[in-house]
Structures are given as structure tokens and as C-alpha cells.
Chains A and B, each alone.
Chain A
């Protein structure tokens, strides 16, 4: 069974469109994250939710909006896509946050290409 899954794996879309990436974890974890990895392989956290509460909200355009319907899901919605949004987006989860059990487990990534 996949611990952290993301859909879709690849997403190719036109500039200006609105798209969503879904993430689900079946580990029973309380915390979930979204990361962006740019073309230079630099990994940067975007958001983190703990028990459905937003705890990390880095400086990202407000076109990006995370939505957590329950603890097992953290979806990423992106409005008005721009060329610079092209990247690989990773979802992750951890049992806790800031404690001894917050080892993070990552999904396989979603490669977003904006044309």
C-alpha cells in the first residue's frame, strides 16, 4: 500500500488555467505538507497542516491555496497558472510536528508543466 500518494503524477496545462493536485496519506499522520522543487532542484516548503490547522504558510502567491478536508488529505489548488509555476510538487506527511515523531514521508511528486 502506498503511504503517501499524489494525483496526478504529471500535469501539463495552459497558462491561465486553474488546476488541483491531490494528496492522500494512509499512515494516520496528523501533519501534512506541500513542497515545491524548482528546476535547480531547490526544495522549498509551501504549506503545512497539523490536524487540519494551517501551521506553516510560506510566502507563496495567493493563487496557491491548500485545502484539507480531513487529516488524511491535503489538496493544492492553483489558480491562474503562470509559466513560473512549472515545477515538481511534493506532498509529505508526519506523525507529529516539531516533536520526536515528525519524520516526514514523501509522495512521489507531481510534475507540473505550464505552457
Chain B
């Protein structure tokens, strides 16, 4: 059974710092990995999607990497801003033991960027 772990559970940084969020998964047989952000009381916003054949994806100040063999992904945020404060979730798409698709989320990292 796929398990997705995000470390740390919470992170507080001063504005302007570069930071890295980590995501690890136990089963490397995945189709893709996706990073989301969730603002309090709101839905999820997709940030980046990395296919299993890709190593990284970039969007603005965000860069996500994927090392499928080691079961790890990182989300790098450059020059953090208070508006980046949110919970960041990663999710992996793979197959369950029964052969059906399985989408598994981590529990998220709550990021606070202090002005």
C-alpha cells in the first residue's frame, strides 16, 4: 500500500528565504506526482505536476523535483513571501495491489512566512 509522508509537518520562515518542502512515497511505481496548496477554509490549488518520466517542473518561484527511484520529491520555493503561507500537499498516482488506480495524499506541510 502506497504511503506518502511530508516532512516537516509545519515550517515557519522569515520573508525572503528560500525553502524546501519534502515528500516521500513508499512505492516508486507511480504515474505522476502533484503538488497542491491549500489556503485555510478553501479548496486546493494545483501547483505543479511531474510525470514519472520527468525529473522536475518549474513555475515561477516554484520548482518541484522527482526522484522516483528513491521515492522522493521536493518543492523548492524561492524568495518566500507572506502570500505563500498555506498548507502544501503532495499526491502520487499509482496502482493499488488490486490493479486499480490509487491517488494518495500526504498530510501536508503548513508553511508560515513571517513578514
> Which chain A residues have a beta carbon within 8 Å of chain B's beta carbons?
33, 40-45, 48, 55-58, 90, 92, 97-100, 102-109
Contacts and interface: CB of A to CB of B under 8 A. Distances in A.
B79 to A, nearest CB: 24
Contacts of B107: 40-42
Contacts of A109: 42-43
Given A48-B101, A56-B102, A57-B100, A104 B43 contact: no
Contacts of A97: 101
Contacts, number: 57
Contacts of B46: 103-106
B25 interface: no
A41 to B, nearest CB: 7
Contacts of B89: 43
A71 B65 CA distance: 33
A92 B93 CA distance: 15
The B contact surface, by secondary structure, is strand
Contacts of B51: 100
B93 A102 contact: yes
A104 B105 contact: no
Interface of B: 31-32, 34, 36, 42-46, 49, 51, 87, 89, 93, 100-105, 107-108
Given A41-B107, A98-B93, A106-B46, 14 more contacts: A41-B108, A43-B89, A45-B103, A45-B105, A48-B101, A48-B103, A56-B101, A58-B102, A100-B49, A102-B93, A104-B36, A104-B44, A105-B46, A109-B43
Contacts of A55: 100-101
Contacts of A58: 102
Contacts of B103: 33, 45, 48, 56
Nearest to B94: A98
A92 B49 contact: no
B99 to A, nearest CB: 11
A97 B34 CA distance: 13
A40 B93 CA distance: 22
A108 B100 contact: no
A106 B43 contact: yes
A5 B111 CA distance: 27
